[in-house]
């Protein structure tokens, strides 16, 4: 009977149950090393592998397709058979057959369980109601999105890594967000008490209310909201949605039902080769238990996948990889807050010693844990600033001897020797990319075999293609190794110009070139591209401050600059007037409201202290801006690589802690530098005291008031890779402050690379902060007067680009949806949400409730 069944069952060398990130990595590794092995993937989800690490980005605009790690076409090209919604019901270990819920059967030589984990939902009465959800899969995201549309308040149960990611998702979805945690602090596994306290303060400051030491007893009907959570201490919290993210449990029920060895508290027991108790079955990822440990990060799962592939292909030979545990260090950004944890963060090692640095005004906490001899780093905690993470991780992973004074690793820079580790100091065994287990030696080998560019090294080794956290370190290693071999590290902007941005800037300025045609004819080749054209336009604007829509410049601009507004996902544009320093009169507020009402625009107050209006049709832009300009507004340059905003607190005028008039200073600075075109966007912040309400130290130019004047911070930024600014000078009077800023920004525009933020510019500058201080304060290059004159020319020739545009009838004609028609684009449709419009989804465009545009 068995033989007759087997004869009708497809024969596969390898069957993989599960197609999460780890299961997909296993498939990639096996196919790369064994092109002919037959592979079949059985995915329980209705889709192939996707990036769970970045799930929260779904709520900031990414789609399921954006998160996808593979496609059916790609698997077909790799000759990988796959089935989605293929839940495995039975495993016949004797006949080596698996059966899925449809009754289909598949034979295997080797079976790989990559079933992952499932979210733990505490056994709380009432936890199965409609808007009590979990945060784990793409389908969960759709459920959360649907619930958020009919909810105002959301609660996340769980304050660990996953819980805070889930809280970020609710916040991105527009809900008032709370986090409820049973433990006394957030991220108790990764952070010590002080780090957890600071993280709570920072997240609370972002508008997420944190409730620790709360045990939920029941979920019942609420009064003002859909639900009420009753806590063991007698308090309660009302909410419309509850998102459980209280940890994970290994998805091991299939293995347990078929008598594979299990851990006492769950998990499929594996050995160093990721073999289970059955010699033909492997387990990898979060379902696997190795030496009583479950590894809940993707990087260890990838390492397991590689070990399993190695054993399948090589058996127990000397060249077979073994899984020997994994580093669980993490660096992440939670709702804009930088957090890092390395090794023994809680100093549990016998005789371990700790050094701590805490700066409460700046919201920084750093701790390193060292051994009894104070020569080896055992662990670290970083909250508020993870710029030291890469250096500390290399000290810990490679047992590198600590400097004489270990505290120098976390103390603010004093201008002395930098304790950071250069690429040369790293041993060949140093792990550069933990996601794909790429060592420095692997990178060196790739270069020796002919990979002479960063992109080719990435392609060859897969380094930095996982979470991307190693990108900066990878570039340092590659550049250092190429330099050793005498290979020039080129900085050509594109194939049309064999020059860096800095070199093109000097060519334009020295030779007085004012058009792209002349520039490419004399110093380039070809017709130009989408890289060099906007770059040249930016340089012309920085040097000459010409109107960007002049005929000779018009063809160089990207879409945002052409229409003087940011194009949105549905083809409409944003309208962002400048609000210097965040100060605005009631009349101007009323005007913004009237324009938003009359043109049916979505209205949002931003973190940059402005009011953004979204959903404007291209043909409406001139009329909208005509009303705004008449009312006293100017363009806010939200579409440009230029000064965006100067954020301020209320300063000494209103605040009892303020020591200087930060509002007036912010307004003066914004009016001075508005319209300044640069390699990248620039943001300022001005705080009236050291309480730092304007968050100045996260800005390109940060100014904090003191009793004696102003402290100047430089080259900070938020965004994808946040960085605190460095203290540049203290107790400056306003005249000196402005002089220094003029010089800094002019030098940045003169020397930075294309699309390079000020933070990266200074970090890559030989000599760093000290050199910049010498150039600006001590004038070691003798160019201070030139830098000031360059800035004064920009200030003197400023024009509001929208004012110039609406006064020119020919330019106004360009703002039409269709060249030969005044008709509107019927594809642009909106739906109502929270009393305002938003772009309709493709599904919604075919339903009712579409908001017609006037």
Q: What is the pTM of this model?
A: 0.57
* pLDDT for 104 beyond 90: yes
CA atoms within 13 A on the CB side of 521: 6
Angle formed by the axes of helices 532-544 and 501-511, to 10°? 50
Q: What value does the mean pLDDT take over residues 527-551?
A: 83
pLDDT band at 850 (very low <50, low <70, confident <90, very high): very low
**Other CB atoms within 10 Å distance of the CB of residue 551:** 7
* Model pLDDT, residue 78: 93
Polymer length of the chain: 854
Quick one: average pLDDT of 299-315? 93
Q: What percent of the chain has pLDDT over 70?
A: 92
Pairing of strands 11-17, 39-42: parallel
Confidence of residue 182 (pLDDT cuts 50, 70, 90): very high
Per-residue pLDDT, averaged over 819-824, amounts to 53
Place 20 in a pLDDT band, splitting at 50, 70 and 90. very high
Position with higher pLDDT, 782 vs 479 = 782
* pLDDT score, position 37: 93
pLDDT value for 206: 78
Give bridge partners of residue 687 from the DSSP assignment.
704
Q: Give the separation between CA 600 and CA 616, rounded to whole angstroms.
A: 8
Residue 630 pLDDT greater than 70, yes or no: yes
Highest mean pLDDT among 420-424, 446-450, 729-733, 758-762: 729-733
Q: What whole-number distance in Å separates Cα of residue 804 and Cα of residue 634?
A: 11
Higher-pLDDT residue of 707 and 555 is 707
Pair 349, 363: CB distance under 8 Å: no
Neighbours of 174 (CB within 10 A): 16
Neighbouring-strand partners of residue 113: 17, 283
Q: Per-residue pLDDT averaged across 820-842, rounded?
A: 71
pLDDT of residue 570: 67
Mean pLDDT of the chain: 87
pLDDT digits 0-9 by tens, 473-486: 787 788 888 878 77
In this predicted structure, what is the pLDDT of residue 497?
86
Handedness of CA 620, 623, 627, 633 (dihedral sign): positive
Mean per-residue pLDDT for 688-716?
A: 92
Contact call for residues 587 and 595 (beta carbons, < 8 A): no
When mean pLDDT is compared across 264-268, 823-827, 833-837, the lowest value belongs to 823-827
In the chain, % of residues over pLDDT 90: 45
Of the ranges 130-134, 448-452, 724-728, which is most confident?
130-134
Is residue 159 pLDDT above 80, yes or no?
A: yes
Q: Which of 187-201, 211-225, 328-342, 399-413 is predicted least confidently?
A: 328-342
Q: What is the pLDDT of residues 237-255, one digit of tens each?
A: 999 999 998 888 999 999 9
pLDDT reported for residue 634: 93
**What's the angle, vertex CA 152, arms to CA 136 and CA 125, rounded to 5?**
60
853 against 298, higher pLDDT = 298
Q: pLDDT band at 685, cuts 50/70/90?
A: very high
Q: Which residues are annotated as a binding site?
A: 649, 655, 689, 693
Distance from chain centroid for Cα 383: 17
Closest by Cα among 530, 500, 532 to 516? 532
Handedness of CA 740, 742, 746, 748 (dihedral sign): positive
Domains of the chain (ranges, CATH numbers): 2-118+250-314 (3.50.50.60), 121-246 (3.50.50.60), 327-421 (3.30.390.30), 423-489 (1.10.10.1100), 501-557 (no CATH), 558-635+800-854 (3.30.70), 642-796 (3.30.413.10)
Instruction: Write b or e for each residue in 114-127: b if 16 or more Cβ atoms lie within 10 A of its Cβ, otherwise e.
Output: bbbbbbbbeebebe
Residues contributing to the annotated binding site for [4Fe-4S] cluster: 649, 655, 689, 693
How far, rounded to the nearest angstrom, does the alpha carbon of residue 295 sit from its chain's CA centroid?
Answer: 23
584-588 own/partner pairs: CB under 8 Å, 24+ apart: 584/611, 587/631, 588/631, 588/632, 588/633
836 pLDDT exceeds 80? yes
| Inter-residue contact 816 to 619 (CB < 8 Å) | yes
Residue 642 has pLDDT above 70, yes or no: yes
Bridge partners, residue 747, by sequence: none
Residue 667, SS3?
Answer: helix
Q: Is the pLDDT of residue 826 over 70?
A: no
Rounded (5°) CA angle 520-526-527 = 75
List residues forming the annotated binding site for siroheme: 693
> Are residues 757 and 803 in contact, defined by beta-carbon separation less than 8 angstroms?
no
Report whether pLDDT(417) > 50: no
* Main-chain phi, psi angles of 436, to 5 degrees: -115, 15
For the cut 80, the answer to whether the pLDDT of residue 843 exceeds it is no
| The predicted structure's pLDDT at residue 573 | 83
């Amino acid at each position: 009977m068995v033989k007759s069944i087997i004869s009708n069952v497809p024969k596969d060398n390898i069957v993989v149950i599960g197609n999460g990130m780890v299961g997909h990595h296993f498939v990639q590794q096996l196919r790369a090393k064994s092109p002919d092995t037959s592979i079949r993937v059985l995915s329980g989800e209705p889709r192939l592998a996707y990036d769970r690490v970045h799930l929260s980005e779904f709520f900031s605009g990414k789609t399921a397709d954006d998160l996808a790690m593979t496609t059916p076409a790609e698997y077909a090209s790799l000759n990988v058979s796959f089935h989605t919604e293929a839940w495995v019901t039975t495993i016949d270990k004797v006949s080596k057959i698996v059966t899925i819920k449809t009754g289909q059967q598949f034979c295997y030589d080797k079976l790989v369980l990559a079933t992952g984990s499932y979210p733990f939902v505490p056994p709380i009465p009432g936890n199965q109601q409609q808007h009590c959800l979990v945060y784990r899969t793409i389908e969960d995201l759709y459920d959360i999105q649907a619930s958020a549309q009919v909810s105002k308040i959301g609660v996340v149960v769980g304050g660990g890594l996953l819980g805070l990611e889930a809280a970020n998702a609710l916040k991105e979805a527009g809900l008032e967000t709370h986090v409820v945690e049973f433990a006394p602090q957030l991220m108790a596994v990764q952070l010590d008490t002080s780090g957890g306290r600071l993280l709570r303060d920072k997240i609370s400051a972002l508008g997420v209310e944190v409730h620790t030491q709360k045990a939920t007893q029941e979920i019942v009907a609420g009064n003002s909201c859909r639900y009420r959570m009753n806590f063991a201490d007698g308090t309660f919290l009302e909410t419309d949605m509850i998102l459980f993210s209280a940890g994970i449990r290994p998805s091991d029920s299939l293995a347990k039902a078929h008598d594979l060895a299990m851990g006492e508290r769950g998990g499929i027991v594996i050995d160093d080769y990721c073999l289970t108790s059955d010699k033909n079955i492997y387990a990898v990822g979060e379902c696997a238990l190795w030496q009583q440990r479950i590894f809940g990060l993707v990087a260890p799962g990838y390492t397991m996948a590689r070990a399993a592939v190695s054993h399948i292909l090589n058996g127990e030979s000397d060249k077979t990889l073994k899984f020997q545990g994994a580093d669980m260090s993490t660096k992440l950004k939670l709702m804009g807050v930088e957090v890092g944890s390395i090794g023994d963060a809680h100093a549990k090692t016998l005789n371990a010693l700790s050094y701590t640095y805490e700066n409460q005004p700046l919201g920084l906490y750093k701790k390193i844990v060292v051994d009894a001899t104070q020569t080896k780093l055992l662990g670290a905690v970083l909250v508020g600033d993870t710029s030291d993470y890469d250096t500390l991780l290399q000290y810990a992973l490679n047992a590198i001897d600590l400097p004489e004074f270990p505290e120098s690793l976390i103390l603010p820079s004093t201008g002395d020797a930098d304790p950071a580790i250069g690429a040369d100091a790293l041993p060949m065994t140093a792990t550069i990319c933990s996601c794909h287990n790429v060592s420095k030696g692997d990178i060196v080998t790739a270069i020796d075999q002919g990979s002479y560019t960063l992109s080719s090294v990435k392609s060859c080794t897969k380094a930095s293609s996982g979470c991307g956290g190693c990108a900066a370190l990878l570039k340092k290693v590659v550049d250092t190794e190429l330099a050793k071999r005498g290979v020039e590290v080129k900085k050509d902007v594109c194939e049309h110009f064999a020059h860096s941005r800095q070199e093109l800037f000097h060519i334009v300025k020295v030779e007085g070139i004012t058009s792209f045609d002349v520039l490419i004819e004399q110093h380039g080749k070809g017709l130009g591209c989408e890289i060099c054209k906007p770059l040249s336009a930016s340089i012309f604007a920085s040097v000459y401050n010409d109107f960007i829509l002049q005929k000779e410049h018009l063809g160089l601009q990207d879409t945002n600059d052409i229409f003087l507004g940011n194009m949105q996902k549905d083809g409409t544009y944003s309208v962002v007037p400048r609000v210097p320093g965040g100060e605005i009169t009631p009349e101007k507020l009323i005007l913004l409201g009237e324009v938003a009402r009359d043109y049916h625009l979505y209205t949002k107050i931003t973190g940059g202290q402005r009011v953004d209006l979204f959903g404007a049709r291209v043909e409406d832009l001139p009329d909208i801006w005509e009303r705004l300009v008449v009312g006293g507004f100017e363009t806010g340059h939200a579409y440009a690589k230029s000064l965006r905003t100067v954020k301020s607190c209320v300063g000494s005028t209103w605040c009892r802690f303020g020591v200087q008039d930060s509002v007036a200073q912010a307004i003066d600075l914004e009016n001075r530098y508005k319209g300044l075109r640069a390699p990248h966007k620039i943001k300022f912040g001005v705080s009236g005291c050291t309480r730092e309400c304007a968050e100045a130290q996260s800005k390109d130019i940060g100014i904090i008031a003191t009793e004696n004047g102003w402290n100047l911070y430089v080259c900070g930024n938020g965004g994808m890779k946040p960085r605190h600014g460095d203290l540049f000078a203290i107790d400056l009077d306003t005249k000196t402050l402005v002089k220094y800023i003029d010089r800094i920004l002019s030098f940045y525009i003169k020397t930075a690379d294309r699309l390079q933020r000020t933070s990266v510019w200074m970090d890559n500058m030989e000599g760093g902060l000290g050199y910049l201080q010498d150039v600006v304060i001590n004038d070691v290059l003798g160019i201070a007067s030139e830098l000031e004159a360059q800035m004064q020319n920009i200030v003197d020739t400023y024009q509001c680009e929208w004012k110039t545009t609406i006064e020119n009838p020919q330019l106004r004609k360009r703002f039409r949806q269709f060249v030969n028609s005044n008709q509107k684009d019927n594809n642009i449709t909106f739906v109502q949400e929270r009393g305002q419009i938003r772009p309709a989804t493709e599904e919604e465009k075919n339903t009712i409730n579409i908001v017609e545009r006037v």
